[in-house]
C-alpha cells in the first residue's frame, strides 16, 4: 500500500487516532499510573494551575461548592472541582478516561456526570454553567470555533470560562510544525521507542514520551493568534475578563520556554445571548489554526532559509535520499531545541539560550543535509 495514501487516511481518522494517542500512548497511562503525584519537570499538578486560575477569577475553593462546572479532558481537573463541592459535567473523547473518572466518582461519592463524547457531537445545554474550564483542549478539537459556539451558549450570564490555547508565533510550535511537516505518521512507533531509549531510560509511560507523542502525532494541533480568539469570543456575545495583552505576530528570540505570551484567556458573558451557528459560521476565525511554517509571513531571512532547508530535507526523505532512522533522529533532536525534559541539562536547549535560535537551527539543518543525506 502507498505509504502517503495510508498516512493521510490515518490522519483523517480524527476520532480514533486522537483516542489512540491520548488513551494508550500519551497522557492517560501516565496520569493513571501517577495520579495525584507530582511528576518531575511536568505541568501535571492540576491543583496548582487551577488555584492560579481561581485567583484570577477572584474565587476561592470554598466558592466552588454547588457551582455548575463544565470540563473536558483526562478528568484531573474534574476531580479537583468535585472535591470542593462543585457539580461537574465532564466529557472526553476517550473511553478510558471516562471509565476512570466514573470509578473515582463512585468511590468518592462525588457530583460528576461524565460521558464519552466528541464535543462537536455533544449537547451541553444553554446558560447552564457557572464555570467552564478548558486546559489543553481547544487546539485539539477538529474545528475549534464550532465548539466555542457551544461553550459560549452553555455559559451562564456573568459566568467565567478559562481557555488555554496554542499560541501562534511561538518558537516551540515552529519546531513542532517543522517536525509534523517532515515526519510521516507511520514512524510513530519508532519515534516512541527511540525517544524513550535516549531520554526516559526506556520508559514509555513518561512525561517526555507523552509530550513527544502528543506534539508529533495528534491529528489536530491548531495555533491561534489572540486577535482571532478574541474576535470569535466577542462575536458570540462574550467579553475578555483577563488577558495579558501580548498581541505580537511572532517572537522567536526569547530564551525562556515561552518565547511569546498571550496563550491563556479568561472569558465572561454579560447576557443570556444564544448564538445560532448557521448565522455566524462564515465569520468565525478559529475554525482552523495557523501553520507555523507556512501560515506566517516571516521578515527574517534566516527563518525563511530554515523553511527552505526543511523543504529540502522532506524532499530528500520522500525520494529515498534520507533514511527513516536519520529523519527520526533529526526530529527528536529538533525537539531538544525547545522542549527537553530537563532544560538545565539539555545541551541543545542551553545552546539556544546562548546563541540565536534560528542561527543554531540553520547550522543543525545544514549539517544534517551535509552529513546524513545520500546525495549531498
pLDDT in tens, 50-102: 999 999 999 999 999 999 999 999 888 999 999 999 999 999 998 888 998 99
pLDDT, residue 36, reads 52
Cα angle 48, 51, 55 (rounded to 5 degrees) comes to: 140
In a domain, 10, yes or no: no
Does the pTM of the predicted model rise above 0.95? no
pLDDT > 90? residue 46: no
Q: 19-23, 173-177, 331-335: lowest mean pLDDT where?
A: 19-23
Does residue 251 share a domain with residue 210? no
Does residue 198 share a domain with residue 164? no
CATH number of the domain where residue 87 is located: 3.40.50.150
Does residue 149 share a domain with residue 261? yes
Separation of alpha carbons 340 and 41, rounded Å: 10
Does residue 140 share a domain with residue 31? yes
Does residue 213 share a domain with residue 102? no
Does residue 209 share a domain with residue 144? no
Among 283, 314, 335, which residue terminates a domain? 283
pLDDT, residue 129, reads 98
Grid cell of 293 as nine digits:
511554517
- Rounded mean pLDDT of 14-28? 85
Does residue 314 share a domain with residue 338? yes
In a domain, 1, yes or no: no
Q: What are phi and psi of 126, to 5 degrees?
A: -135, 140
Does residue 164 share a domain with residue 78? yes
In a domain, 290, yes or no: no
Does residue 119 share a domain with residue 41? yes
Does residue 61 share a domain with residue 186? no
Does residue 246 share a domain with residue 357? no
In a domain, 6, yes or no: no
Does residue 88 share a domain with residue 192? no
In a domain, 307, yes or no: yes
- Rounded mean pLDDT of 232-242? 97
Q: What is the pLDDT of residues 285-299, one digit of tens each?
A: 999 999 999 999 999
Domain region containing 105: 15-169+221-283
Total domains in the chain come to 2
Amino acid at each position: 500500500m502507498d505509504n502517503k495514501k495510508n498516512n493521510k487516511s490515518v490522519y483523517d481518522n480524527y476520532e480514533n487516532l486522537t483516542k489512540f494517542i491520548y488513551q494508550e500512548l500519551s497522557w492517560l497511562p501516565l496520569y493513571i499510573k501517577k495520579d495525584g503525584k507530582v511528576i518531575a519537570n511536568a505541568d501535571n499538578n492540576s491543583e496548582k494551575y487551577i488555584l492560579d486560575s481561581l485567583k484570577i477569577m477572584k474565587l476561592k475553593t470554598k466558592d466552588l461548592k454547588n457551582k455548575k462546572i463544565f470540563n473536558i479532558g483526562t478528568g484531573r481537573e474534574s476531580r479537583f472541582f468535585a472535591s470542593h463541592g462543585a457539580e461537574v459535567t465532564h466529557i472526553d473523547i476517550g473511553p478510558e478516561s471516562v471509565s476512570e473518572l466514573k470509578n473515582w466518582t463512585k468511590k468518592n461519592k462525588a457530583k460528576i456526570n461524565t460521558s464519552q463524547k466528541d464535543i462537536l457531537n455533544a449537547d451541553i445545554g444553554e446558560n447552564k454553567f457557572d464555570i467552564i474550564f478548558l486546559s489543553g483542549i481547544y487546539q485539539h478539537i477538529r474545528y475549534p470555533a464550532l465548539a466555542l459556539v457551544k461553550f459560549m451558549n452553555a455559559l451562564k450570564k456573568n459566568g467565567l470560562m478559562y481557555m488555554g490555547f496554542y499560541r501562534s508565533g511561538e518558537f516551540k510550535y515552529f519546531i513542532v510544525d517543522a517536525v509534523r511537516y517532515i515526519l510521516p505518521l507511520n514512524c510513530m512507533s519508532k519515534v516512541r521507542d527511540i525517544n524513550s531509549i535516549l531520554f526516559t531510560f526506556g520508559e514509555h509511560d513518561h512525561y517526555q514520551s507523552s509530550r513527544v507523542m502528543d506534539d508529533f502525532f495528534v491529528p489536530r494541533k491548531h495555533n491561534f493568534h489572540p486577535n482571532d480568539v478574541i474576535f470569535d469570543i466577542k462575536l458570540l456575545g462574550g467579553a475578555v475578563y483577563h488577558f495579558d495583552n501580548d498581541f505580537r505576530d511572532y517572537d522567536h528570540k526569547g530564551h525562556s520556554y515561552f518565547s511569546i505570551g498571550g496563550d491563556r484567556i479568561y472569558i465572561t458573558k454579560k447576557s443570556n445571548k444564544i448564538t445560532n451557528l448557521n448565522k455566524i459560521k462564515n465569520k468565525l476565525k478559529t475554525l482552523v489554526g495557523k501553520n507555523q511554517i507556512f501560515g506566517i509571513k516571516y521578515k527574517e531571512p534566516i527563518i525563511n532559509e530554515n523553511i527552505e532547508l526543511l523543504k529540502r530535507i522532506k524532499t530528500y526523505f520522500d525520494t529515498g535520499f534520507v533514511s527513516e532512522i536519520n529523519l527520526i533522529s533529526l526530529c527528536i533532536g529538533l525537539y531538544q531545541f525547545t522542549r527537553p525534559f530537563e532544560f538545565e541539562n539539555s545541551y541543545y536547549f542551553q545552546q539556544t539560550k546562548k546563541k540565536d535560535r534560528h542561527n543554531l537551527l540553520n547550522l543543525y539543518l545544514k549539517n544534517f543535509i551535509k552529513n546524513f543525506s545520500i546525495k549531498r
